[in-house]
Structure 1
């Protein structure tokens, strides 16, 4: 029996199997560990920038001493971080970013003058953030609200 005609076919089939196996292993490694870690690291950077931008805008919203003020400032922030909604919350003269992923989030203290007697409120990322400053006789309160909650 002469099987010499099958040798090139078997050789090509083995070569294709090795390439498919290599691509499968490479894909499993990338999607199993490297890509999710990269997405989390990138999302952490985005959350830090978002928190810094929000804190900067809240600090800039405080006016110079005046008799009476009721001002609103809008702020554009990302709608999602790592494809998930998040929230900003005021707590103890700080802004806290809460995210469903355990490795994403943060807290930044606000540098506010003594005329600010409080900061309060919570904002969800799927709505427009409104920073509202209300005050009388140089005593101000800062509220974080969503555009729909005004």
Structure 2
């Protein structure tokens, strides 16, 4: 009895099995550790950039000395970070990014002129946001709010 034709079929099946096993191991490794770690790193980086941009826009919104100040500046923020909503709020002379993921977030100290006596308000992601600056020469209020 001649079984030479059967050995070719068995060889091909073993080769396909090894390739499928290799692809399965690589996929499991990537989705089990590498890809989620990369997504967290990208989310943290986007959070830092968003906070830095928000800080810069607030500082730029304050006009030079004048008798009466009334300014509104639109601020563009990403709708989500790492697929989740977030908020940016005023805390003293700083902005704080609050996110459900503890690795994403932080705070940024603002450099404000002495005439700014109050920084208040909060932005929610996904809403059109503005910085409103109002007051007189010696008492200026900076407010983070949703665009009306």
Under a length normalisation based on structure 2, what TM-score does the superposition of the two structures give?
Answer: 0.94
Give yes or no for the alignment of 1:92 onto 2:92.
yes
Equivalent pair of 1:68/1:138 in contact (CA under 8 Å): no
Q: CA deviation at 1:137?
A: 3.5
Q: CA deviation at 1:114?
A: 1.2
Q: CA deviation at 1:70?
A: 2.1
Q: Which moved more, 1:17-26 or 1:74-83?
A: 74-83
* Partner in structure 1 of residue 28 of structure 2: 28
Under a length normalisation based on structure 1, what TM-score does the superposition of the two structures give?
Answer: 0.92
Q: CA deviation at 1:3?
A: 2.9
Please give the alpha-carbon distance, in whole angstroms, between the structure 2 residues aligned to 1:142 and 1:60. 11
Give yes or no for the alignment of 1:72 onto 2:61.
no
Equivalent pair of 2:88/2:98 in contact (CA under 8 Å): yes
Unaligned runs of 5+ in 2: none
* Partner in structure 1 of residue 43 of structure 2: 43
Please give the alpha-carbon distance, in whole angstroms, between the structure 2 residues aligned to 1:137 and 1:51. 28
Please give the alpha-carbon distance, in whole angstroms, between the structure 2 residues aligned to 1:6 and 1:87. 66
Equivalent pair of 2:115/2:137 in contact (CA under 8 Å): no
